Amino acid sequence: MGGQILGDRYEVEYQLGKKSGRWTLQARDLQTQESVILKVLFLDENLRATDLKLFTREIEALKVLRHPATPCYLDYFETQLPSGDKALTLVQSFVDGRSLRSYLIEGLRLTQAQAHYLAQKVLTILASLHRQSPPIIHRDIRPSNILLNPGLPLESASIFLVDFGSVKSLTPGTTAFTVVGMDGYVSPEQASGRVLAVSDLYSLGATLVEALTGKSPSQLQTKGLRIDFEPHADLSPEFSQWLKGMLAPSLDHRWPSAEQALAALNGLP
């Protein structure tokens, strides 16, 4: 597929991902010579209504996103395929970096100081997204969707949040009822089909636990319905208590917003 021109403008260079009815490609914009990401959704008999809805949501969310640590919307077009079917293509800015997931696979384990730094950066992004009107909820925060540029050492890297394919723009006073996200990173309320802005906090907390322990959240036992991470990580009592607030299964005990979680994190000794 390398070398193929889509939309009379974008030359495909690499296939980054492939799911049923959906491709993610890295391409070169022949007008600007910049690298871009193409997300292609095939409109065939296998297309599910949920896939089209999520694809449309991602387009609408990226159109309003103006954050330096997230992708931005560049273009959108429809393509006629040789089969007679059609495909929708979203073009977004290319975010250079290496995923946290790739480092964890290689055996990286974050120190408390590194986890603190990572949490600060991602919470700053989330606070900005959640302040949008309506709030933008990522709904799929996990190690593969956090990029480090240029890479390690983590403390000097720029942190990016990518893949808004599960995003939801939430009208104030409402909740969402579409189950998306991966097991282990999903909050209890999201697993039951209800998502709030603080659902992103739980997912970030679960991501931090994996980065600190080397174990995916689903591999760890629970204690009072909360992920029991303490036996597997060397953390200060203050940071451990803060992380419990991110992972609280009850909304009454979770940090009420990204801004408040960030303020509490910044206040730790």
Q: Residue 12's pLDDT is what? A: 95
Looking at mean pLDDT, say which of 5-19, 24-38, 74-88, 215-229 comes out highest.
Answer: 24-38
Residues 165-173, mean pLDDT to the nearest whole number? 56
Q: Answer whether residue 164 shows pLDDT above 50.
A: yes
Given CA atoms 49, 52, 56, 57 in this order, what sign does their dihedral have? Answer: positive
Which of 93, 118, 152 marks a domain boundary?
93
Same domain, 27 and 144: no
Beta bridge partner(s), residue 147: 99, 160
Q: Answer whether residue 175 shows pLDDT above 50.
A: no
Same domain, 232 and 136: yes
Specify the amino acid at residue 126: L
Q: Where are the beta strands (DSSP E) in 125-167?
A: 136-137, 146-149, 158-161
Reported as a single tens digit per residue, the pLDDT across 66-94 is 899 999 999 999 988 767 789 999 999 99
By residue range, what is the domain housing residue 76? 5-93
Same domain, 111 and 88: no
Active site residues: 140
Same domain, 48 and 102: no
Same domain, 248 and 125: yes
Same domain, 136 and 243: yes
CATH label of the domain that carries residue 147: 1.10.510.10
Which of 34, 67, 93 marks a domain boundary?
93
Same domain, 129 and 76: no
Residues 17-24, mean pLDDT to the nearest whole number? 85
* pTM summary value: 0.88
User: Helix (H) and strand (E) counts for the chain?
Assistant: 7, 13
Same domain, 71 and 116: no
Which comes out higher in pLDDT, residue 200 or 53?
Answer: 200
Which of 93, 120, 136 marks a domain boundary?
93
Q: Structural domain tally of the chain?
A: 2
